[in-house]
Homo-oligomer: A and B are copies of this chain.
Amino acid sequence: MSNIKEVAARAGVSVATVSRVINGGSVVRESTRKKVEAAIRELRYSPNFSGRSLRTSKTGKILVMLPSLKSFYSTLVASTEKTAKAHGYSMLICHTKSDKEAEKSYLELLKNKMADGVIFLSTRLTAAEMNTLAREYPVVQCCEYVRGSNTGVVSVDDEAASFEAVTALIARGHKRISLFGAERVGTASDREAGYRRALASAGLPVDREEIYYDNHSAESGRRRARRMLEAGRKPEAIFSISDIISLPALREFYEHGLLCPRDFSLVSFDGSEESSVSIPALSTVEQPREAMGREAFLELYNRLNDPDYEARIIRLPHRLVLRETIR
């Protein structure tokens, strides 16, 4: 409601002085500072960010592109935000629903000077589009990322983690291991690569019929299971690239009388809250969400403060958690 001019008038000083008090850093006589602060309080003044960012061409805001609201992201995003806040930034969440158009529309906020940078937790952009974007704005991809992009990247070693997960299945004596995967995104390919390497290492053949591609949604979990059953196959062991896929798949199998680990084994990816709560509890590759969220912001922050900062690829350690879905 009130503006800096009114505060200045009330405090009997100029707007410049009020600005100095607000932003700190400058030398202001203690007594004037007191007066100004009193005026600010009395008028319940808050700076107008449009005015400020018009002037400074900074917004103090970053975007986080979220494909869906699931609790896996809750702690991750909380960690990003905490770190951001500690560095004077606030965070705005963009709910993209894995929709490219929605994503692009949110990206307009960058062009419109409503935000200074962006962290992708998932994206539908191509590598080319991503690179174009990153040339102009600070960009970091976290967890998932597209291959061949020159943005900052924070992730686990998806290939190695998947290798480990599938190897655990093999160690339990499983020979026919299906992949519930997804095409396109770099992360999914890496996980598939780990799957293939694990089979190869064990001298097991890769059966193309055992690879089930679909998108990254809950429905797709059920769909994969149904496809498998309709093809006349019963699961023996499954490596699934995401908890979000695993849970509905488990449910679908359950509805067909197939239970884990009695009838088959499953190892999944993400280490979401749900993985430890579900019945049976999922064996899964846990990603260090706290650290990932933090590092994602920090990487962005470097670039935010230095246009010439060279983007890094940051790999964080995963942890394979074996629970009830493996025999």
Contacts and interface: CB of A to CB of B under 8 A. Distances in A.
A170 interface: no
Contacts of A51: 50, 54
Contacts of A111: 46
A254 B274 contact: no
A48 interface: yes
A277 B251 CA distance: 6
A251 B278 contact: yes
Interface residues of A, number: 50
Nearest to A67: B74
A290 B81 CA distance: 28
A292 to B, nearest CB: 15
Interface in A41-61: 46-51, 53-54, 59
A106 B94 CA distance: 15
A66 interface: yes
B78 A73 contact: no
Contact of A112 (B48, B94, B109, B248): B48
Interface string A62-74: 0000101111011
Contacts of A68: 71, 74
A28 interface: no
Interface string A86-126: 00001111110100000001101101111000000000000
A137 to B, nearest CB: 11
A4 interface: no
A320 interface: no
Contacts of A46: 108, 111-112
B279 A279 contact: yes
B94 A277 contact: no
A94 B97 contact: no
Nearest to A63: B92
11 contacts: A47-B112, A48-B113, A49-B113, A50-B53, A70-B70, A81-B95, A90-B105, A92-B93, A247-B278, A250-B279, A254-B279
Interface of A: 1, 46-51, 53-54, 59, 66, 68-71, 73-74, 77-78, 81, 90-95, 97, 105-106, 108-109, 111-114, 136, 218, 247-248, 250-251, 254, 273-274, 276-281
Given A48-B112, A70-B70, A92-B93, 4 more contacts: A49-B114, A50-B113, A91-B95, A251-B277
